[in-house]
Amino acid sequence: MASDDNKRQETIMSRNLELFERAKTTIPGGVNSPVRAFGSVGGTPRFVKKASGPYFWDADDKRYIDYIGSWGPAILGHAHPEVIAAVQRAAEGGLSFGAPTEAEVEFAEVLCSMLPSLEHVRLVSSGTEATMSAIRLARGFTGRDTIVKFEGCYHGHSDSLLVKAGSGLLTFGTPSSGGVPADFTRHTLVLEYNNVAQLEETFARLGDSIACVIVEPFAGNMNLIRPSDAFVKALRTLTEKSGTVLIYDEVMTGFRVGLQCAQGLHGITPDLTTLGKVIGGGMPMAAFGGRKDIMNCIAPLGSVYQAGTLSGNPVAVAAGLTTLRLLREPGFHETLTARTRRLADGLTELGKQAGVALSADSVGGMFGLYFTPEVPTCFAEVTASDRDHFNRFFHAMLEEGVYLAPSAYEAGFVSIAHTDAIIDETLAAAKRALAKG
Q: Which residues are identified as catalytic?
A: 154, 249, 277
For residue 234, what are the contacts with CB-CB under 8 A and spacing of at least 6? 196, 199, 200
Q: How far is CA 310 from the centre of its chain?
A: 22
Contact between 118 and 264 (Cβ < 8 Å): no
Integer Cα distance of 54 and 424 in angstroms = 13
Cα–Cα dist 146/307, whole Å:
23
Q: How far apart (Å, rounded) are the C-alpha atoms in residues 57 and 310?
A: 30
Q: Find all residues with CB under 8 Å of 222, minimum gap 6, and list them.
A: 152, 153, 154, 193, 379, 382, 409
Radius of gyration of the chain (CA): 21
How many angstroms separate the Cα of 127 from the Cα of each of 29, 114, 287, 324? 23, 19, 8, 17
Q: Which residues contact 429 (CB under 8 A, 6 or more apart)?
A: 65, 397, 400, 401, 402
Of 74, 159, 35, 131, nearest to 410 by C-alpha is 35
Helix, coil or strand: residue 250: strand
